[in-house]
Amino acid sequence: MDSLSRRHLFGAAGMMMGALATLSVPGTEALAQGPAKDRLVIGMSLEPPVLDPTKNAAAAIREVTTPSIFEALGRIDRTGAVGPGLAESWNVSEDGKEYVFKIRQGVKFHDGETLDASVVKFTLDRLFAPDSTNPAKSLYTDIEKVEVVDPSTVKVTLKSPNSFLLYSLSLGDAGIMHPKSAPTNDKNPIGTGPFMFKERKEGDSITLVKSPTYRDPGSIKLNTVIFKIVKDPSAQVSALLAGDVDAFPGFQAPELVERLTKDPRFVVIVGTTEGEVILATNNVKKPFDNPKVRQAMAHAINREELISAESGFGVPIGSHFAPHNKAYVDLTKTYPFDLAKAKALLAEAGYPNGFEASLKLPPVGYAQRAGEVLANQLGKIGIKLAITQLQWPQWLSEAFKERNYDLTIVAHTEANDLDRYARDGYYWGYNSPEFKAKWREVVAATDFAKRDQILKEAQQIIARDAVNGYLFQLAKIGVWKKDLVGLWENAPTPQLDLTGVYWK
């Protein structure tokens, strides 16, 4: 489940808006707009099961807590790049095996405790400990040991170089927690971030307020942030129209966007996410173990039609990689849409008349829509798909854990999630020594330009092997009131950074 967050990432826009923001006389505007200028209500479609990102993989937890409540050593910015977070700076040794972090001084937790190197060591030790239950544990198992050099310096030693370490240490999964409050963070999260937890009404809302202990209180313009859970897409639109919700950074229903773009009170910003929508294929099951069958299917997929079913939102992909990433290479033409070729390949594979298979769909809009379209497209080369709609728990146990499926459609929303293709026993059943070797090269690369080059080759391997059907990159549709400034336009990670957000 770690990579498969149940929804698209949050995040959102604003640089453009900030630039376009008109200047106005402060006093008059406050009068005209009423009192709620330091209060923000954010709509979410899914509710976080707990509030501790080190205990559960749900993307909704990161949206609420990272970096508002919990901060990590590094901080992911709106472009997806890593900058200083609770670590002011760091040095990496020549061989890429030693990281020395300088910890920011004067940082207080919401309960008054002080951040120092021992707290950082406590947090990092928890990540890779043998009994760690961190949902992203595998990202941290290259760490050999963490040492406190002095109260403001921590040294991390790796068993082998890991070019993703800084990124991994900037995720919510590595949020810095105090030993005192760590056990109770799932219900009452206490971190170092600009907002502190106030209350949670299960099934309804989560309220955060500005933290008095934050190191730079002047930079935070909002006093109250309320995350309001609205599951049904039509109800989300109603909530926006009625003014109950100020912003939906991750709006789930592309078909309803038109209704909102017509309304002058809102802006609709279409950005990118890390969510690759794929036709996940059980590579160990007949007939999908035959590469020719998978290639035939790839030739039969018409991405233009699939994106049209998403009301035009989404970017075609030919591999498991986000187009906004600078290491992206366009592989959509690896197996271009060609029904004659597809039929020929199926015949070569021994299925001149096609075959029957099942398509298990999770209960999300994009999967439901793409499912019907794909059943039609593959039907044209004789592959008859029987669709079954599953609830999330069923999908997770049947398809993801037990691998009892032929085909399914799901969005993989984490960044750098190509590593799934190198994992043993992952639900696709892909096992390629060539890719595994390539991935080891990626992880071990210390030079980022070189790493990008190897990443491109890795994308090519899985595109060539047609491991899964690569459909499209989910769009991040953000809808919010037009005088709200600073939300991210794109969602490079499932986090919602509210530090630069204000009402103009």
Our finding on whether 33 is near other proteins (CB under 8 A) is no
Helix (H) or strand (E) segment spanning residue 390: none
Our finding on whether 264 is near other proteins (CB under 8 A) is no
d(CA 318, CA 452): 17
CB within 8 Å of 128: residues ≥ 6 apart: 137, 140, 141, 143
3-state secondary structure of 468: coil
Our finding on whether 217 is near other proteins (CB under 8 A) is no
Question: Beta-strand (E) ranges in 252-370?
Answer: 266-281, 315-316, 355-361
Contacting other proteins within 279-338 (CB under 8 A): 304-305, 308-309
Task: Give which of 452, 426, 425 is closest to 441, Cα–Cα.
Answer: 452
| Residue whose structure tokens are 């927690």 | 177
Least distance from other proteins to the Cβ atom of residue 287, Å:
22
Choosing from 255, 289, 402, 447, the residue that interacts with other proteins (CB under 8 A) is 255
Contacting other proteins within 142-201 (CB under 8 A): none
The token pair that represents 394 in the structure block? 């069923």
The token pair that represents 496 in the structure block? 């919602």
User: In this complex, which beta carbon is closest to other proteins, that of residue 98 or of residue 372?
Assistant: 372
User: In this complex, which beta carbon is closest to other proteins, that of residue 242 or of residue 449?
Assistant: 242
Our finding on whether 261 is near other proteins (CB under 8 A) is no
User: In this complex, which beta carbon is closest to other proteins, that of residue 259 or of residue 403?
Assistant: 259
3-state secondary structure of 102: strand
Contacting other proteins within 365-404 (CB under 8 A): 365, 368-369, 371-373, 375-376, 379, 386-391
Contact 271, 13 (CB under 8 A): yes
User: In this complex, which beta carbon is closest to other proteins, that of residue 68 or of residue 282?
Assistant: 282
| Binding region for other proteins (CB under 8 A) out of 271-279, 283-291, 361-369, 402-410 | 361-369
Least distance from other proteins to the Cβ atom of residue 311, Å:
8
Least distance from other proteins to the Cβ atom of residue 309, Å:
6
Terminal CA-CA length for the chain = 39
Our finding on whether 356 is near other proteins (CB under 8 A) is no
Least distance from other proteins to the Cβ atom of residue 389, Å:
5
Least distance from other proteins to the Cβ atom of residue 363, Å:
7
User: In this complex, which beta carbon is closest to other proteins, that of residue 153 or of residue 388?
Assistant: 388
User: In this complex, which beta carbon is closest to other proteins, that of residue 107 or of residue 253?
Assistant: 253
CB within 8 Å of 331: residues ≥ 6 apart: 317, 318, 319, 459, 460, 463, 470
Helix (H) or strand (E) segment spanning residue 166: helix 165-168
Helix (H) or strand (E) segment spanning residue 42: strand 39-44
User: In this complex, which beta carbon is closest to other proteins, that of residue 88 or of residue 304?
Assistant: 304
Cis peptide before 433 (omega within 30 of 0): no
CB within 8 Å of 253: residues ≥ 6 apart: 233, 234, 236, 237, 365
* Per-residue contact flags (x/-) with other proteins for residues 128 to 147, judged by CB under 8 A: --------------------
Our finding on whether 446 is near other proteins (CB under 8 A) is no
Q: What is the DSSP letter of 137?
A: G
Least distance from other proteins to the Cβ atom of residue 327, Å:
32
The total of other beta-carbon atoms located within 10 Å of residue 376's CB is: 12
Our finding on whether 105 is near other proteins (CB under 8 A) is no
User: In this complex, which beta carbon is closest to other proteins, that of residue 18 or of residue 363?
Assistant: 363
| Residue whose structure tokens are 């090519």 | 460
Helix (H) or strand (E) segment spanning residue 364: none
Our finding on whether 263 is near other proteins (CB under 8 A) is no
Residue ranges in contact with other proteins by CB under 8 A: 233-234, 237, 253, 255-256, 258-259, 304-305, 308-309, 363, 365, 368-369, 371-373, 375-376, 379, 386-391
